A and B are shown apart, each in its own frame.
Chain A
Amino acid sequence: MAVTQLIGARIQRREDPRLVTGHGRFTDDRSPRGCCVLQVVRSPHPHARIRSIDTARAAAHPDVLRVLTAADFRSVLHGAMPVTPSFVAEKRQVPERFPIATEEVVYQGEPVAVVVARDRAAAVDAAEWVVVDYEPLPAVVDPIAALDPAGPRAHAGAPDNVCWDVTYTGGDVAGAFADAELVVHGRIVQQRLAPTPIEGRVVVAEHDPYDERMTIWLGSQNPHFIRLFVSQALQMAETQVRVVSRDVGGGFGSKISPYPEDYLVPAAAKLVGRPVKWVETRTEAMAGTTHGRGQVFEADVAVRRDGTLLGMRLTQTLDVGAYCGTFGAFQAVAVYMAPGAYRWRGVEGRTIGVLTNRVPTDPYRGAGRPEGTHLVERMVDLVARELGMDQAEVRRRNFVTAFPFTNPFGFVYDSGNYHGSLDLALAAVDYPSLRRRQAEGRAAGRYLGIGLSTYVEICGFGPSAPTAGATGGIALVEGAQVRVFPTGSVAVYVGTHAHGQGHDTTFAQIVADTLGVPMEQVELHHGDTDEGTGFGYGTYGSRSLSVGGMAVRGASLLVREKARRLAAHLLEAAEADVLVERGRFAVRGSPASSRSFQEVALAAYGANLPSGMEQGLEAVHYFDPANFVWPFGAHVCVVEVDPDTGQVTIERYVAVDDCGTVINPMIVEGQVQGGIAQGIAQALFEEVVYDPDSGQLRTGTLLDYLVPTMSELPVPECSRQVTPSPTNELGVKGVGEAGTIAASVAVINAICDALQPLGIRHVDMPASPDRLWQQLQEVRRP
């Protein structure tokens, strides 16, 4: 690894001055000349048959250009929206999804018609005038009840509601249970969550019929995938469709998959012959943007009385929603990650994907890994409780200690030091004295709880072999192009997409260090499919640095090598004798004889080149990692629960994360803090609620869906351990999701620990005061 001045430095995010002063370029900032507004008419029913749609009155509105329904869109949009295998190749049924409902609506918020008008007020008014005659059908509103063969179907006429039902077995599960001295059972509900990025979804499309070009501006985590899917549906060549995603106000996974509007807006632009813009409202976002989590777990853990974990059997029942999300089955990774940081003789996991009449679920920050972590970390705590052991002790007894380690499902953890991070975290909170304080508090009627979460996560998707299968063909590697101009300025084009991650800074640090140029000389570009490499793979699953960053590093090294060869020619030295030092190419032993990077860059465009070398100084590199990367860490949450009100107060939150080599500690801290905030949000606040009888969404606004703010969140104390990854040259892992993966269970374990003396065994999320009070009432009842 290059030891340099920029990698590892606390450098302020250079994109921030622009963003925090309101100079970002978001999709809604773009209004091509003549742009009109699209409003979507959505189903108010979770499940209904469409008898008829009367568009006459809306179409007669003086400012309305067109009212379009499925029949119109069928002429320009072809095929069904994509569903990838993700982690479940063997799906039983995948309902075909057209971007707009044709005969049946299967979730509240599903598009049934669109109005294209000259302005927004007209579009919104006219949309209210579209009269849809619905015949309501029984709705499937609960994923467990959905499995009842006698119950309603999410899609009329379907044989059942099972999208998939697969069991994966790793190791000797039967033997583990046969040797068990105790079997501990747990049931854990992962409520549905709304990703709620600050910027909702926005799509602007302009069709040029003369050049046969379609330009789509939207906020996406992977614009190249959107181009791939939408160009196919429009039956246009990939080169005829340009997707541009500049600044994006957060994604959290919700901007990975294509949405109906990603198709309807360009199709409408084609049909109407004018640029079209659609801007999602928050209410539309709550109903129509994919949700995360939505899973119920049942697990049995076989243990010895000394605390040795032997085996686990688990079932994940996953609320797929009305259609299988494009990457919806990714969340089944919870099964593969259920072994966590521990050694097991065997683990068996069944995942059942269930269709319901709700908006589809899809990846949301962590996507399956928070769920897997929550499961195993809760189960370990339950084991400790039933054996009367300390929670830290059970963990220490079972930690994986030798790496690389192959988990029961065949995944290879690349590096780790689980004891180390737990020791650091427990030292930071002074665990023994905390336990003493807890005991003293209990005697005085105060309920302090200490929650541990010793997580390990899989991220950095590739490698190519397993991921090509998961996407249905496209291997998740990453490409980068580095172009050096005659003056030495460097432009870098990356296939990842930054929407809050600070790539503009992190990647520039890598390039600047590799080439030995100042960061200011390096310009980053992302999000425009007309630029850079032929395909970009996008940003999700904490992959940008360990895959995309390595592509950037690789392309920079190719450029540096060419520059070094050219420098050797200019210096009339042997190539092997030319060293690269802080942006100068010098001859070994005679430092006075050197060329600057700028001089070499200029020479690359001149006539004096070594024989066989072409002009120019640029390179493309695709990086295919040999393995996933496996960040880990230990989080400790300290809470106090008010037994009178059920109110939880987080007293302290300590996080020790190990994401390998750190490029920029400030950005890592920001990612961890934000991730923890979202984990705490799930543990204590957020929940998408559908009415159990009517199936209507009850959390349709941010008044009802409780996103916590600064005032409700602790300032986590973040520190680090560094165990480099052997998977890549820089030793980096990923950190975009670690906080979320670790945090929800740290909080819940703390609450359960606090309430243990009152007889509470388990608490589901969100642990609202009302819910805790109800549970306390139940155990207090004689």
Chain B
Amino acid sequence: MIPASFDYRRAHDLDEATRWLGELGPEAKVLAGGHSLIPLMRLRLAQPSALVDIGRVPGLDTIRVDGDRLRIGALVRHAALARSEVVRRALPLLAEMAAEVGDQQVRARGTLGGVIAHADPAGDYPTLALMLDAEIVTTHGSHPARDFFQHLFTTPLQPDEVIREVTFPVAAGPHRYIKFRRRRCDWAIVGAAVQQSDGGWRLGLTNCGPTPMRARAAEAALAEGRTMAEAALQAAEGLTPPSDLRASSDYRRHLARVLTRRALEQAAA
């Protein structure tokens, strides 16, 4: 299939991108790695009037530690995250997630900013961003992750707003991400992420609702000194995961509990 016709503009900097997006209106879309957008366009499920390509905007592919924050440019690709020594030291869970995104071709092209902006609850980075209170820094300001993932594919980003970078807290303690899937290159049927941070556990779940989810009841149980197995039983508290061809909602709730337990036990081991 080939996409419906669209205009294409390549931005030289973010000011230009923002200006064009403002002129072109809400039917225009930002193109970065294109690994979510272009497949949708090929199926004509997305028919944007124009693409503003930010792929060659300089300065958006940097990774650095700034005090207690890890700052990652929006255009940093999965493969770069996976092999970055900086990420591996400052937030190894992110590097491990990046290494498991899609397949090699996807990892070579897809970007962190693209995944965040797409706000697919089956994406891995949104889970990490939510559970660790990441900040999404844009051309218009900054959004805390907890306010960012509003619903399925829905964020507060304005039509002319572009993500510059995402900042995560540095967290190098025990961690684990278990991505349950049928095929290696698939999205998670359910993903369970655990990270010890500031002495407590942060627990996140992928593909368990319309947004990434934080297993707060289980976090609280751990904070109260319950065992990991006991706490994990509460991982599905409040979840209403989707039912689809891969898994029923009940099975996803069950996986949320099992995978959270396993992730905790493996992280602690």
Contacts and interface: CB of A to CB of B under 8 A. Distances in A.
A121 B6 CA distance: 12
Given A645-B255, A689-B245, A773-B254, A768 B182 contact: yes
B198 to A, nearest CB: 31
Interface string A674-707: 0000000000010001000000001101001010
A721 B13 CA distance: 67
Contacts, number: 51
Interface in B97-140: none
Contacts of B258: 644-645
B90 to A, nearest CB: 29
B12 interface: no
B245 A704 contact: yes
A151 B44 CA distance: 36
B2 A709 contact: no
A283 B245 CA distance: 17
Given A120-B2, A699-B245, A712 B255 contact: no
Contacts of B251: 769-770, 773-774
A283 B43 contact: yes
A689 B243 CA distance: 14
Nearest to A684: B182
A124 B1 contact: yes
A283 B4 CA distance: 16
Residue of B189, B247, B248, B251 with most chain A CB atoms under a 10 A cut-off: B251
B203 to A, nearest CB: 18
Interface in A106-127: 120-121, 124-125
A709 B1 contact: no
A711 B185 contact: yes
Interface string A747-782: 000000000000000000000111001100000000
A751 to B, nearest CB: 15
Contacts of A699: 245
A711 B184 contact: yes
A125 B255 contact: no
A709 B4 contact: no
B158 interface: no
A708 interface: yes
Contact of B1 (A281, A704, A708): A281
Given A706-B182, A711-B184, A770 B248 contact: yes
A549 to B, nearest CB: 37
Contacts of A644: 258
A711 B43 contact: no
Interface in B211-269: 245-248, 251, 254-255, 258
Nearest to B180: A645
Given A644-B258, A773-B254, A283 B185 contact: no
Interface residues of B, number: 21
Nearest to A766: B182
Contacts of B182: 685, 706, 712, 768-769
A771 to B, nearest CB: 9
A675 B5 CA distance: 42
Contacts of A698: 245
A774 B255 contact: no
Contacts of B2: 120-121, 124
Interface string A108-149: 000000000000110011001000000000000000000000
B248 A774 contact: yes
Interface in A712-734: 712
Nearest to A773: B251
A699 B183 CA distance: 16
Interface string B179-209: 0101111100100000000000000000000
B1 A712 contact: no
A770 B247 contact: yes
Contacts of B4: 125
Nearest to B255: A645
B247 A121 contact: no
Contacts of B255: 645
A644 B229 CA distance: 13
A768 B245 CA distance: 10
A770 B246 CA distance: 7
Residue of A128, A283, A701, A706 with most chain B CB atoms under a 10 A cut-off: A706
A709 B5 contact: no
A711 B103 CA distance: 11
Nearest to A708: B183
A752 B186 CA distance: 27
Residue of B2, B44, B186, B258 with most chain A CB atoms under a 10 A cut-off: B2
A773 B257 CA distance: 14
A709 B102 CA distance: 13
Contacts of A709: 183-185
Contact of B5 (A121, A281, A701, A773): A121
A701 B254 CA distance: 27
Contacts of A773: 251, 254
A644 B4 CA distance: 46
A290 to B, nearest CB: 21
Contacts of B180: 645, 647, 769
Contact of A711 (B5, B183, B246): B183
B102 to A, nearest CB: 11
Contacts of A706: 182-183, 186
Contacts of B44: 128
Contact of A701 (B43, B183, B186, B189): B43
Contact of A712 (B5, B183, B246): B183
Nearest to A119: B2
Contacts of B254: 773
A289 to B, nearest CB: 16
A540 to B, nearest CB: 29
B35 to A, nearest CB: 13
A203 B117 CA distance: 41
Nearest to B5: A121
B196 to A, nearest CB: 24
Contacts of A128: 44
A654 B184 CA distance: 23
A709 B184 CA distance: 8
A497 B167 CA distance: 58
Nearest to A698: B245
Nearest to A768: B182
A147 B254 CA distance: 37
Residue of B5, B185, B245 with most chain A CB atoms under a 10 A cut-off: B245
Contacts of A121: 2, 5
Contacts of A685: 182-183
A672 B251 CA distance: 35
Nearest to A705: B245
Interface string B37-69: 000000110000000000000000000000000
A711 B245 CA distance: 21
A283 B258 CA distance: 35
A769 B4 CA distance: 38
B145 to A, nearest CB: 26
A283 B42 CA distance: 11
Interface in B1-34: 1-2, 4-5
A560 B1 CA distance: 53
A650 to B, nearest CB: 13
Nearest to B246: A770
A145 to B, nearest CB: 21
30 contacts: A120-B2, A121-B2, A121-B5, A125-B5, A128-B44, A281-B1, A283-B43, A644-B258, A645-B180, A645-B255, A647-B180, A685-B182, A689-B245, A698-B245, A699-B245, A704-B245, A706-B183, A709-B183, A711-B183, A711-B184, A711-B185, A712-B184, A768-B246, A769-B189, A769-B247, A769-B251, A770-B246, A770-B247, A774-B248, A774-B251
**7 nearest interchain CB pairs?**
A711-B184, A770-B247, A770-B251, A281-B1, A644-B258, A712-B183, A704-B245
Given A645-B258, A689-B245, A711-B184, 17 more contacts: A120-B2, A121-B2, A124-B1, A124-B2, A701-B43, A704-B245, A708-B183, A709-B183, A709-B185, A711-B183, A712-B183, A712-B184, A768-B246, A769-B182, A769-B247, A770-B246, A773-B251
